[in-house]
Structure 1
């Protein structure tokens, strides 16, 4: 931890480190002061990242070539260790996507097969091996490449899908979950990075990949954990076509975060009725494998496992 702090300050300066540290203290607060601090932090990170990724060229054409011939409109999921090593809730989520989307090829990306589908710069792979780039942030680059090269839908491995993903999602040039909630990240509810779809050769996806590569070519410490969101924000502010793609996505799945709040609650009639209200406008629910699940056979968690495992 101490080494990471020292390296962060070396790469970005003490001012940005202090700004982010103060913001972290107020992260759970919704006060006026906390809102101002969050906005100031967001602006400073965005400015710093913009100076790194904008107005630079990254010429690696082989990174954007197909390596597989696939059926159109695949669904991409990634669990680095593979399905057999995944937590039960992850297996249930993957199964829910497979079960509800039988007309689409569902491809699970792992450490053993990712290079069958995409090429990554050698410096990225080296920095993964060195621990500079986490698997989480590696997946950000992989998803952008997959969607640009092959198109389809990217689903995080902790998304519970309760019905077939509509055709409009696959047919849209770009689609994402849009809750319109005033979140404390640069998306502000206008997009999510855990569920995205794209047609092949979408310039938004290409720029997302390129900006990640440009960043990691020069730096060893990530500027912010949610750098992916900042990159989308920067692209939308500097590319009118990309901005229109994002803005035209209709509000959808507005209750995507709600189911997780009840994961350990008894699965009784009261909760069933509440879930029915969620399902009126939501079919994709973002869960987490990091939650502490209680040992209760009557909980929502166990209901999900019983249904999808």
Structure 2
């Protein structure tokens, strides 16, 4: 039985429960509550999400079997929540730096749009980790519909950023959706900059824009020549303690890159994927993955070829939007 929501809500989620979240996530949720104005912050987890959203049984079963990862199950939940209730979805790693303007909650559609072109299919015109708008908005309605169609027939992701591809199709095929995206004003600042500066000591929390996307998985230096790092300042501001004593290590970064490259290569030679998606998606997908941090012409070429093939594959689920 879904709960009745009578005002705009800030939604977020940590599957294992807020009390079990890492320090960065706890700090982010604290910042949401601190700067929510009169809007309630609802933290969903594995024990309470069904109070707010009812998903098809085939999706629930695929999540239980691990076919749908928790990351992508979160994608499905956020879209269905926004479609049912509206409000503002913030990933649990979004740090809120000052009170959220009421204008955000009054818009039919809201997201972070940056004038920083990139190779991704969204081209920084929207961010899946920060979405808002009114209930039953055509954007959320169609996205929820497409996700259901996809997972009813599929047992794996054609691409990690599935919702971005569906957003791309929706914005290109539905005039109303495109108009609402056009009405989103450009975001003042870089939503990723705070994460890049976490180990530095010369920055204050107030130096960053209202919303910042952090990464709880990144190792951060807890002290720097006895001066407080930005990470420590965030924790102090939130009254949260990180007793892990984990120190940033470049070697870990390189090891993660090697593991990532091996994972992408294994996906590339997967015979089942080649048979299902075709050699083109596999080949350009591997090139795109390996060049994802590059901004050269070659990287853009491979990214575009890959995106066109993925969009063509997903066309089977879109029909007449």
TM range (shorter): 0.7 to 0.9
Q: 1:219 maps to what in 2?
A: 154
Aligned to 1:295: 222
Alignment of 1:178-193 (within 5 A): 178-193=113-128
Q: Output one character per residue of 1:185-222: Cα deviation in whole Å (capped at 9) or x when no partner.
A: 11101110111111111111011111011001001011
Does 2:46 correspond to 1:111? yes
RMSD between aligned alpha carbons? 1.4
Question: C-alpha offsets along residues 245-288 of structure 1, whole Å, 9 cap, x if unaligned?
Answer: 1111010143111111110112x3xx24xx66x54xx2101101
Cα distance, 1:148 vs structure 2: 1.0
Within 5 A, what are the aligned runs for 1:149-188? 149-188=84-123
TM-score scaled by length of structure 2? 0.71
Q: Distance in 2 between matches of 1:152 and 1:219?
A: 29
SS of residue in 1 equivalent to 2:42: strand
Deviations 1:72-111 (A, max 9, x none): 1110001111101100010000000001114101000101
Give deviations 1:125-153, integer Å, cap 9, x for gaps: 11111111011101111111111111100
**TM-score normalised by L of structure 1:** 0.74
- The aligned residue for residue 251 of structure 2 is none
**Alpha-carbon separation, structure 2, partners of 1:254 and 1:178:** 10
Give 2:235's aligned residue: 305
CA distance in 2, matches of 1:181, 1:105: 32
Q: Secondary structure at the match of 1:76?
A: strand
Query: Which of 71, 74, 77 is equivalent to 2:9?
Result: 74
**For the residues of structure 2 that align with 1:253 and 1:143, how far apart are their CA atoms?**
24
SS at match of 2:119: coil
* Structure-1 residue corresponding to 2:167: 232
The 3-state SS of whatever aligns with 2:146 is helix
User: Is 1:90 the counterpart of 2:90 in the alignment?
Assistant: no
- Does residue 283 of the first structure (1) align with residue 210 of the second (2)? yes
Distance in 2 (CA, whole Å) between partners of 1:75 and 1:86 is 18
Over 4 Å off, 4+ runs: none
* SS at structure 2 position matched to 1:217: helix
Which of the residues 125, 144, 166 maps onto 2:79?
144
The yes-or-no answer on 1:131 pairing with 2:66 is yes
CA distance in 1, matches of 2:24, 2:218: 10
TM-fit CA distance, 1:70? 1.9
**Structure 2: how far apart are the matches of 1:252 and 1:149?**
26
Alignment partner, residue 297 of structure 2: none
CA contact (8 A) 1:71 1:105 kept: no
Say whether the 8 Å CA contact 1:253–1:284 is kept in structure 2: no
CA contact (8 A) 1:178 1:254 kept: no
**Which stretch shows the higher mean deviation, 235-244 or 88-97?**
235-244
Number of aligned residues: 236
Partner of 1:101: 36
CA distance in 1, matches of 2:150, 2:83: 19
1:201 aligns with 2:131: no
Contact 2:11–2:89 (Cα < 8 Å) also in 1? yes
Cα distance in 2 for residues equivalent to 1:242 and 1:160: 27
